[in-house]
């Protein structure tokens, strides 16, 4: 994908833009989300990319440690 100029300016702010591992290429449909449990929101099986259409999703992979 050709990044729009505002995103390139975002990169200049210090973002690490990742290139192209096949399953998670930028500018392409995001890989599916499949969770086993969930808190503070819908049930795990209800959390899908389809159900999040129309919203910007910030997806954070984290740990308690």
Do residues 26 and 2 lie in contact, with contact meaning Cβ atoms separated by under 8 Å? no
Q: How far is the CB of 64 from another protein (least distance, A)?
A: 5
Which phi and psi angles does 11 have, rounded to 5°? -60, -35
Structure tokens at 43: 């049930």
Q: Per-residue x/- marks for another protein, 25-44, CB under 8 A?
A: xxxxxxxxxxxxxxxxxx-x
Does 2 engage in binding with another protein (CB under 8 A)?
no
Tokens 């099986």 sit on residue? 45
Among 2, 8, 12, 18, binds another protein (CB under 8 A): 18
By CB under 8 A, is residue 52 in contact with another protein? Answer: yes
């Amino acid at each position: 994908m050709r990044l729009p100029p505002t995103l390139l300016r975002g990169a200049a702010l210090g973002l690490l833009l990742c290139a192209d591992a096949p399953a998670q290429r930028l500018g392409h449909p995001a890989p599916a989300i499949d969770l086993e449990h969930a808190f503070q929101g819908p049930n795990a099986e209800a959390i899908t990319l389809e159900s999040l259409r129309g919203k910007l999703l910030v997806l954070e992979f984290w740990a308690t440690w």
